[in-house]
Amino acid sequence: MSQKCGYVAFHGRPNAGKSTLFNALVGSKLASVSNKPQTTRNRLLGNYTVDDVQMLILDTPGLHNASGKPKLNSSMNSVAWNAVNDADVVCYLIDAAAGWHNDDAKYLSGILGRTEKPVLLLATKIDAQKQDVIARNVATIQQECAGLVREIPGSEVRFLQPLPEEISAKRPESVAALRSRLLGMMPPGPWLYPADDLSDLPQRALFAELIREQLFRQLNQELPYSCGVKIEGVDESPKRLHIQATIVVSKASHKGMVIGQGGSALKSIGTAARLELERQTGQKVFLELHVAVDEDWTNDLQAIADYEGIGPK
């Protein structure tokens, strides 16, 4: 039996539903998910292998305007754009509940300029709004993409039909249909990972991802964007997994906000993260959380590498 193996890269603006669909396709929670944009900061790889086909899905940070923002933002954009080069199929996701955004045209044009590989446009979250709203938004996406195709020579043969394909990550039949379609597009080639390896994500990176998810879920609107997570130690015994982690903030004034009155905020974050860690590892977890200040770390490339794994270590 000849093997097939290929990469599928997920791209789109922040909060387009990439991580939710990524988790659904892989069949396991690897990417953190919240209703705030830019929850994903680094490239995540998910492995779905069935029969003779291995599909490697790349979840990437949301493409956004990084001008005037910390270096962390431009680093995230670089991660996303670099994943385009690795892909055998590019999936560009647009939130159908929110509709088309002018930046979608810019980012789609950028993708078409970087790769000759096929592009599948996905209209996500089709169950998050009334159907008449979804229908209007999808029609607008179709019109805008038709205009884009006319402007870029050769793009009409690279956009896969239908344009867009509607998808709900909450509907198993919808996810299964998309998964089957993508598996059928994988090129011949040997597998790059063992079939039972769900990801190339190191254990510590997964732990940090799940802790940071709770920062986005529980803290005020802007604060999570200046928070990083560093796993200081992992000790595994027959009875439990002991994880020591530091939440890093970029301003001294933020430390008290993460800790909360009497430690209430940190306790809530720690409890929710511990329960998620136990679900993912199947082990009892003792999570030891601390908060530290690293002034303006989001503009320090070495700190970004240390806390987020982006760039040189």
pLDDT in tens, 91-121: 999 999 999 999 999 999 999 989 999 999 9
Cα separation, 117 vs 87, whole angstroms: 7
The domains found in the chain, sorted by start residue, are: 4-183 (3.40.50.300), 203-308 (3.30.300.20)
Cα separation, 140 vs 107, whole angstroms: 17
Report the 10 Å Cβ neighbour count for 127.
16
pTM of the model: 0.87
In 3D, which of 291, 209, 300, 302 has the Cα closest to residue 249?
A: 291
- Which of these ranges, 153-157, 197-201, 236-240, 299-303, has the smallest mean pLDDT? 153-157
Report the 10 Å Cβ neighbour count for 219.
22
CB 293 within 8 A of CB 255: yes
pLDDT in tens, 140-187: 999 998 888 888 887 888 899 998 999 999 999 999 999 999 999 999
